[in-house]
Structure 1
Amino acid sequence: MLAEGGYHWNAGIFLFRADTYLAAMEQYSPEILLACRAAMGNRHMEKKICHPDPDAFAAAPSDSIDYAIMERSDKVAVTPVNPGWSDVGSWDALFEIANKDAQSNAIIGQAVTIDSSNNLIHSEDMEVAVHGVENMIIVTHGNKVMILPRGTSQHVKKSRRSWKVKTSGADYRRSDLRRANFCVFSAWRSTSWARTWQ
């Protein structure tokens, strides 16, 4: 079949007007639409951040847009495109497309690098300094730090699960967790970053 040609890979990129999409959702997947409307109807706001109601949203069927609408609608067209696209589905993919400094470090947020190269550092919440570090992924979020070699970002879920197990049932005070607002990563003193948590 593929040898005949005339087929395209579904990249999962969809363009539609909002009213057209909502009309299709009402026609083909009304359960999802109802759940989303309930979630937005019971939303709460924190400044400019909108938080849909989690319970209402969780009640929506877990269907992809492909199954819920695209495979059922007769108002669908496909066009080939070659935009150099990446789904940025991992930290390694983010490193590949990110802007880099003269030492090929991709830095997003607050970081200082010394004698370090080919690292991805993503830290919006705390200052990070690295010395003599190569080919690493360093990510901070709130008071959590994740460090792993580049090329192994598929193991992020393992790190998350381990963190949940170790911290379940623990009563951490916010002030204790916020003691560390500066982390140092060093190839010659790999334990220095851990001291910021004590």
Structure 2
Amino acid sequence: MSSLARLLDWWADQQGILFHVSAGNVAEDLAVTNITTTAFEDATPEERCGHIETAQRNARHQRTLMAPAEAMNVITVGAASLDETTPTSPIQAGVIPVHADGEVTPALSSAVGLGAFRSIKPDFLALSGEHEVRAMPGANHVRLSVLGQTQRTGLNVATVQRGNPSVYRTRGTSCANAMASRASLFAVSALGSGFITSR
């Protein structure tokens, strides 16, 4: 475990603080072997998910958690490829869905790995914006790449562009962590209000 993970574990134990930590994003493409691009595109969503799960399992040593997500006394949050709003425009050419509509699945870029005592991390998935995936052909495999610049899907976040306040759409485990932290704060507020009212 990393030094930062041990620090958060100690801090959480000593001060009773609940930390939310994002699992981390994997920027590298995912190689799905022994299949052509055409065959992958023609497959059903269930078959694509099967190919992706196999590819992620084979590449798990390269797509690991970002420290300190392996800490024991923290909530590690992974990204679910899901939006709560409809896309702003039609799907682009070359972009293929990798799961059925409305299905909650881990985002292709969301890191996974082991925590203390070989526990599975992340602890849960949170809404992080729909990830759009492009399939690119290789020699005897397909490389799946998550589009990072698309404004068709994702969560609205504030930004400043050339001095003008604006918003743009993004996605990933940081978004999921922000949504999970927000939900936790609402839960604490609701539980505290209920406790005070009942006394």
TM over 0.5: no
Structure showing greater Rg: 1
Tell which has more relative contact order, 1 or 2 (C-alpha 8 A, sep 6+). 2
TM-score class, shorter-chain normalisation, is: under 0.3
TM-score by length of 2: 0.20
